[in-house]
Amino acid sequence: MRKHRAIKKLRKSLPDSPGTRISTLAAYLRNEKSPTIKTLQSSNIIYSPEENNENQLGLAVLEDMKIAISETKLKRTDQARLSMNVLSASVSGNCVKQLRSKLSLAKKLGIPARRISSGFTLRNKISKTLSSSQVYTKRKVRTDALSDANKNLIHDFWCSPENSHPTGNKNDVKRVRIGPQKYSSHHVQILEKTQSEVFIDFKNKYPSVKVCQSLFERCKPYFVRAASTKDRVTCCCRYHLEIKYVFKAAMNNRKKMLPKSAK
């Protein structure tokens, strides 16, 4: 009742002309120094000039998005479909979900409500993918992880003359793809020894570098490979001697393994 009497008293104190009444109320509401106006603004009953500018900016952005969507949604190209996914995901966030304004937003933009839902799903998928990628890149490294300096050291050790040498044939070139329409090529080099022997030599030469053999072999350059029969420049006499030595070592090992009664 008290509020009713106060409103009635205020109405009687205003000018009778509608135009003068509106201008009087507008001038009073624009008075930023009034404590009453500040209280009304803090209570979200009326908007401050800054909030009015933000609302106008939001309406302008929403209208521009509506125009872009209306020009894109009727096209049947992959680029248009991708643009619609980007637009729907950009306006579908947690704020719209908390306000439960999905239907109002869809009506304002002129698109079905399921498009807003699919945009919200796509946005969550992208955010989860980015967060998982960030966690992956910042995860703790393994205890046997190598630094760039050690990787370069292993790379140079594989290419050193004591471990590998070029084939001598200019046509022996290894080519690998490193990117879209980008390739790297290098002359093939042949190992002088086995990979295990190279690893043992590396451990003897650099005992301070902690690396396992599998990781050491993964750091091998792409143009270094093991020697095959055609790469060995030798004669039949050398083959005969090598087979003889291997057979003799096998027979000695057999004598050690068999019991004395079987001999």
**Over the stretch 147-201, which tens digit does the pLDDT of each residue have?**
888 888 998 899 888 888 888 777 888 888 877 888 888 888 888 888 899 999 9
pLDDT higher than threshold 70 for residue 261: no
Residue 134 pLDDT grade (very low, low, confident, very high; cuts 50, 70, 90) = very low
Question: What are 34-81's pLDDT values in tens digits?
Answer: 777 777 777 777 777 777 777 788 788 778 888 888 888 878 788 888
CB contact burial 8-23 (16+ within 10 A = b; e otherwise): eeeeeeeeeeeeeeee
> What phi and psi values does residue 223 have, to the nearest 5 degrees?
-95, 0
Q: In this model, does residue 97 exceed pLDDT 60?
A: yes
The mean per-residue pLDDT over the stretch 125-129 comes to 63
163 in Cβ contact with 201 (< 8 Å): yes
- Please give the average per-residue pLDDT across 15-38, as a whole number: 75
Task: Give me the residue spans of the domains in the chain.
Answer: 25-129, 148-232
Average pLDDT, the chain: 78
Q: Return the higher-pLDDT residue of 201 and 31.
A: 201
Confidence tier at 202 by pLDDT (50, 70, 90): very high
Indicate if the pLDDT at residue 143 is higher than 60.
Answer: no
Q: Tell me the three state secondary structure of residue 76.
A: coil
The answer to whether residue 136 scores a pLDDT higher than 60 is: no
Could you tell me the pLDDT band of residue 203, with boundaries at 50, 70 and 90? very high
Contacts of 159 (CB under 8 A, 6+ apart): 189, 221, 224
At 129, the pLDDT band (50, 70, 90 cuts) reads: low
pLDDT at 218 over 80: yes
pLDDT, residue 94, reads 75
Percentage with pLDDT > 90 across the chain? 4
More confident of the two residues 35 and 132 = 35
Distance between CA atoms of residues 148 and 143, nearest Å: 15
What's the burial of 92, exposed, middle or buried (CB within 10 Å: 0-12/13-18/19+)?
A: buried
Quote the percentage of the chain above a pLDDT of 70: 87
Q: Please give the model's pTM, rounded to 2 decimal places.
A: 0.38
